[in-house]
Amino acid sequence: MHVAAEVLGHKQKQAWLDKVLPPVEQVQPGLWSIPVEIPIKPLRYVLVYVLETPKGVAIIDAGWNDEKSYQTLSEGLATAGYAVSDIHDVLVTHVHPDHFGLAKRLREETGARIALHSAEAKTLMIEPHQEVQWQMESEVRAVQHGIPLEDQEQMKREVGEFRKFVDHSAPDVLLEDGDALALPDWDLKGIWTPGHTPGHMCFVEPERRIMFTGDHVLPRITPNISVHSNNPPDSLARYLDSLTKVGRVADTIEDCMGLPGHEYRYAGIRARADELIEHHEERLEELRAIVADQPGVTTWEISQRLSWSRDWSTFRFPERRSALGEAIAHAELLAQRGVLTPGSEPTAHWRLVER
């Protein structure tokens, strides 16, 4: 049996249960956590971490790109005794809008440097041709996975809605696995953890016995490992490897505290990483059984048959898209393992590989 992640952020956990925003908290001397609201469900808020330095502050992740989030961040900094103008570095775990969001605006206002893993920087939408390419790839994928036409239309509308919050620009510092971050008073090191996104990074500070785990390891939620044009088809295999990797690093640090991008602080990073690996192995088996039961099934159909916390038919479109992403990632991994084959038509019809 597993020892699940142990709650350390009790006020955060209570706030999560009460469906309210947790307080701004000092986690350790020189380290603060600021919850910044996300206007879309179900994550509610992203945790921005403030690291004090002799020059001002560095932040890990930046919150959603809207005025309300900016105000929340600004007020949170004031609670910690700082202002937005004190930010000199923005370290980004990954480019999802709840994490990268305000980075560009903060740089424009303060001259802060934005640091990001090099593989993540490649997924930023900066040039117009990247957007066109992204749309074309999405259409190919829709055919490949058998998404019905009306759902494709819905997906386009939803992506359009979402795009207005995304304001990307190139980072100032490109990070690689194991890089030490040049932050005075901090012995912070980046760990490349591809999977949730291609260039997701966790940051570890062994002296302080902490690891910022972004969306890679969350105490309760299973992060979505979807496959889309920005994430390669082997994203789930990479994710599982990255879980083993952070588990190993955490094991070298006694009582290492996990500081996640959502939910609450926790202990037991290794145990939680192992639990997530096991979750995905169970999911792989469930998917294999669906294909065995219904040979020729499309990925879209698989996404409807997988077990979810609620019935798939009640899902709104963003949830359907996540569900499909999860089905794709797991089917692709089973194909890599030689268990399933998609056949050769434009639309994948999954079957078991004859042995």
Binding site for Zn ion (CB under 5 A): 96, 98, 215, 261
Query: Residue 242 or residue 298: which is nearer to Zn ion going by CB?
Result: 242
Closest approach, Cβ 141 to Zn ion, in A, equals 19
Closest approach, Cβ 214 to Zn ion, in A, equals 7
Rounded Cα–Cα distance for residues 26 and 3 (Å) = 27
Rounded Cα–Cα distance for residues 99 and 97 (Å) = 5
Query: Residue 120 or residue 215: which is nearer to Zn ion going by CB?
Result: 215
Rounded Cα–Cα distance for residues 61 and 63 (Å) = 6
Q: What is the CA radius of gyration of the chain?
A: 20
Closest approach, Cβ 238 to Zn ion, in A, equals 15
Query: Residue 213 or residue 304: which is nearer to Zn ion going by CB?
Result: 213
Rounded Cα–Cα distance for residues 169 and 124 (Å) = 7
Query: Residue 147 or residue 201: which is nearer to Zn ion going by CB?
Result: 201
Residue closest to Zn ion when measured from CB atoms: 96
Rounded Cα–Cα distance for residues 262 and 221 (Å) = 9
Closest approach, Cβ 30 to Zn ion, in A, equals 24
Rounded Cα–Cα distance for residues 92 and 101 (Å) = 10
Query: Residue 193 or residue 299: which is nearer to Zn ion going by CB?
Result: 193
Closest approach, Cβ 184 to Zn ion, in A, equals 28
Interhelix angle 149-163/317-336, rounded to 10 degrees, is 110
Which residues are CB-contacts of 242 (< 8 A; sequence separation ≥ 6)? 192, 193, 194, 195, 200, 216
Query: Residue 98 or residue 326: which is nearer to Zn ion going by CB?
Result: 98
Closest approach, Cβ 100 to Zn ion, in A, equals 9
Q: How many CA atoms lie within 13 A of 237 on its CB side?
A: 10
